[in-house]
Structures are given as structure tokens and as C-alpha cells.
A = this chain, B = another copy of it.
């Protein structure tokens, strides 16, 4: 058996996704070590906002006890500058796993990449910020036009669903993507599947928002879902991969479900308290859709030819796949020249720690296949 190749893994962010990733990393390490052509995956750094644990000598940290070890760490917290320096001096290939949702870290991706560090991440911020940052990242990455590390971000759209890999393959094999349409937010999916089920019924809009919050389907402050920005960020990423130079997630029409009068609320609680005053607007919309045999859903769409990107409420026939979604599932329809009138459809859970981490682990495997 040949000598195992060594690859170092540095993990920043150890919330729900980060923890699930570290557990998947441990399983992957075991599987790879048993393989005929083994790769030795070693954890060399793990950090949360207030704590860092790293191996000064690049000897592997424990994947069993990292949580206690991190809690007990007295090492200095590394800022981005120090992190770049530390990873750049590693004697073997390094993959940085960014499980945060920090733009500040993402702004440093080009520097990491230029130093040969590969990056896999579910962090949408960098990929949906300025088009300049997008260009800088892919100008540096080896799977862009550069010669640095590799860069993959499958979980930035649809979590572990194979959305970005499918879009990339359509483009790379020369298909012409004409339109992308779908439900890109687990929160919005759950909310509208409850507010207006195909079978009829459903509660007042404000009550469904409250229920979604209580069940953990929304951000701590539900306004962060209802403003549509999360979906706009995902659409920005998809549109850029489809070839449109979208400047930012605010450079196209995004419908916010926060009533104008409530935009000045001081807190999420105040917002939730006042939202019932606006239920009649949503109820009117529901009645109008029902009278046409349709349901209301919160969707994003990209018309590639006309370069039109939109996020907001739309009505769909009860028989449409977008209407028939269940729970908090996402659905993504790719309309292309090759696929004709029936789109290529990907559907399933688009949020959750395990499935999001799975997209990250899948990206790590893509990097390992290329290193």
C-alpha cells in the first residue's frame, strides 16, 4: 500500500453545521484510511468566534475530543491575517472549512486561495456580495482561472442538494440554461405550505409565522427570513453561475414580506406583536389565488435571456410541482435547451445541519479528488 497523502483541514465555525461537519469528517477519515490509496485527513485548527485551538507543530488535533479541547484552549484567537499566515506555512495541502456566515472571513478568500489553501463552505455571504469579490475569488482559484487553491460552495444554495454541481455541469457541457425557478428557502417553503396548503385550510399569516418560529424553522428574528434577502443571495449565486454578472443581491427586485409600516420595529418581538394587523392583506391575496384555483408561494426566478432576476410571491396551479412541495423542502427547476419544456428538477430538504454539512463534506471530497 502506498504512503498516505496528508491533507490538513482547518474548521472555523462550530455551530450546528460545523459540528455535523466534524462528525462527518471523522467518518470520512476512517473510510479514506481504509481505502487502497489512502489520504490521511488531519484536523489542525478548529475555532469559534471567541476561541481557537490549533496545532503549532501541525500534529493532528483529536477529532474525538475537539469540543472539550477547544473549550479548554488558552491559545490566542487568530484574526484573519494570522489565520492566512498560519495556514500558508503548513507543510502539506490545506483545506479551510468556513462554517460561519461571516462576510469578513469571506472577504479574505482570495488571499487564502492565492496561498494555495483550498476552501469549502456553506457561507453565502462572500458569493452573494459584490461582483468584484466573486471575480477575485475565482481569479485566484484553480477551478476558476487561477492557480491557487480550489473553491467549492455547494451548500450555499439548497444545502446538500446537488444544485450548483448540476448547474455547473449544464453550463460546462454546453447546454443553454434559459430559466431557473424554485423555492429556495426552507423557512418560506414551510410558511407557505402551512399558510396555503393545496388541500385548502391554513391559518392567518401572522399565526403561521409565529408557529414557524416556535418550531425553529425561522431565524431567531423572523424578519431575517421575511425580508427575502436570504433568497436573493441564493439567486445571486445561481445567476452568476449561469453567466449573469449580477452586481449584488439588492440589484434586482426583491419582495419583502415585512409590511412597510413595520420596517421601523425595534425588535423581532415587537414585529410579531404587530404583524396580525396586516393579516388582511395576505388573506386577500390567498382568496384571489384560490378563486383562480391557485396557491401562493414565495419563489425566486432567473430568466437568463432577458437577464431578469426576481424574488417574491407568485401564484401557481395546484398541480404545479412548486405548489405540491411538502414541509420545508426546496425545489429547483432548471429549464434548458436540451431538457426542453419539462425542466430538470431537484427537490428535497434545503436546510438543516446534517444535510448542509453533507454538501460541505461532498465539496471536501471534490477537493481531495483534485489535489
Tell me if A165 counts as interface (CB < 8 A to partner B). Answer: yes
- Please determine whether B161 and A361 come into contact, CB atoms closer than 8 angstroms: no
Give the CA-CA distance A24 to B174 in the complex, in Å. 7
Q: How many copies does the complex hold?
A: 2
Determine the chain B residues whose CB is within 8 A of the CB of A344 once the complex forms.
161, 346-349
- Please determine whether A36 and B329 come into contact, CB atoms closer than 8 angstroms: no
- Please determine whether A24 and B347 come into contact, CB atoms closer than 8 angstroms: no
- Bitwise, A321-360 to B at CB < 8 A (1) or not (0) is 1001011010000100011101111111100101100100
Determine the chain B residues whose CB is within 8 A of the CB of A142 once the complex forms.
37
Give the CA-CA distance A142 to B368 in the complex, in Å. 13
User: Chain A: interface residue count, which band?
Assistant: 35 or more
Determine the chain B residues whose CB is within 8 A of the CB of A321 once the complex forms.
321, 324, 347
- Which of B342, B361, B370 makes the CB contact (< 8 A) with A370? B370
Give the CA-CA distance A349 to B146 in the complex, in Å. 35
Determine the chain B residues whose CB is within 8 A of the CB of A281 once the complex forms.
none
- Please determine whether A169 and B345 come into contact, CB atoms closer than 8 angstroms: no
28 residue pairs of the A-B complex, CB under 8 angstroms, read A27-B174, A28-B174, A31-B174, A35-B145, A36-B145, A37-B142, A37-B147, A160-B173, A160-B338, A161-B344, A162-B165, A162-B169, A162-B346, A172-B362, A172-B365, A173-B361, A173-B365, A321-B321, A321-B347, A324-B324, A329-B342, A338-B354, A339-B355, A340-B349, A343-B348, A346-B346, A347-B347, A369-B370
